[in-house]
Structure 1
C-alpha cells in the first residue's frame, strides 16, 4: 500500500513536530535572522513525495545548505526545535530515521544518520572563507567571535558539586588557564560550539559558562 503524506504527518504529529511550513518561506517566517539560533530536528517533504529527516545545531543555516542542494524540489519542512548537544541530536535522529524506514517511508537520507550529505557540521557555524581565515589566525578569529554565551544553568546545577571540588583544587587556576589557551588557539569558534561540540563538565562557575569573563572562569 503506497505511503501517503497524511501518514507521515500523523507520525510527525506524534513526535510534536511543528506544522508544515513552505520551504521557500521557512527562513523568513520560522527561522528569521534576528531570532535566536535554534537546534533540533527537521523533516523535509519533496515534491515527489519523498522525505529527508535531519538534525542541526543551527536549523536556519542547515536550511540554506539544503536550498543550495535541492532548491525548489523541497515543498515543505516541519521543525522540531530542541536545545541539545550534537551527540544528542544525532542519537535521536537515528531513532527517527529507523521509525520512518520501518514504516516504508521513502527517504532521501543516505544509509543512516552517520552519513550526511551536503554541508558538513562545521560549515553550519563557519563559512568556507571563515574556515580559511581561522586556519591562518585561529586566535585572532576566535577573539573576534561575539556569539552570545549559552544559558547553561541546568548544567550548572547538575555539576555544581564537581565544579566546587575542581575550584578547591590548588591547581584549578592553572588548569583553567590551560584549558582557555587550548580553546582560544585550537577550537574553531569556541563560543559558538560550546555545549553542542565540546564541554568541560566542571567548567561552570557562578552562573557563567566557561567562556565568560576571566574572573568567573578562574574562580
Structure 2
C-alpha cells in the first residue's frame, strides 16, 4: 500500500498565492526608471530566483552596468515596492487553498519554503492566516533565513529538519524551475505547477497545469514517483 507524505512543503509566490505578478510589476517599474523595458523572457528567467540574481538578469537585459551598491539599492527598491503592492490584497492560486486545507485536515505536517525575505513573507502569511482563521504552517523558512537559496537544496532540507521528518517522505509543491530543482536535490518528491516559466519533466517530478482538483489522495502517487524514480509526464486537467 502506498504511503501518504509525512509532510507537504509549499512554495509561496506563484504556487500558493498570486504574488509573482507583483514582483514582475515592481521590476518593470524599476526597468522604466533605468530608461529601458525588461523583456518578458528576462522576467520569466527571474521567477523563483534570489533578488541578486533577478537584478543581474534585469541589468543584463537592459544593457546597463550598476555598481554593487546600486544593485543592492535596486533590489531593496523592488522589495519595498512589492511589499506595497502586496498590502493591497493577495489572491490564492487556483486550487491552492483547497489543497492546503485538505493537507491540514488530514493531519499532515506543513511548511512554507520561500525565497522571499521574511519581512515580505509575513505580509502574505498574515493574509493567509486571516483568510483561513489561523496559521496553517508548522514551519516557515524564508530566503533570508537559509545558508543558500533555491535551487540549492538547503531551504527544503532545513524545513524537513525543523519538522523532524525524513526528506524522502516529503512532497514539495512548486511552480518555478529553481524551486523544483531545489526540492529534487533535497531528495523529495515534487509536484510542479508551472506558471510563468516552463519546467521540463524529471525523475521524481509530477507536473500538472494547476492545483485545481488536486487533493491529499493525489499526493500519494507523487511521493511514490520519487521512490520509483519515475519520469511523470505533464497531466492536462
TM-score normalized by structure 2?
Answer: 0.30
Larger radius of gyration: 1
Higher relative contact order structure (alpha carbons within 8 Å, sequence separation ≥ 6): 2
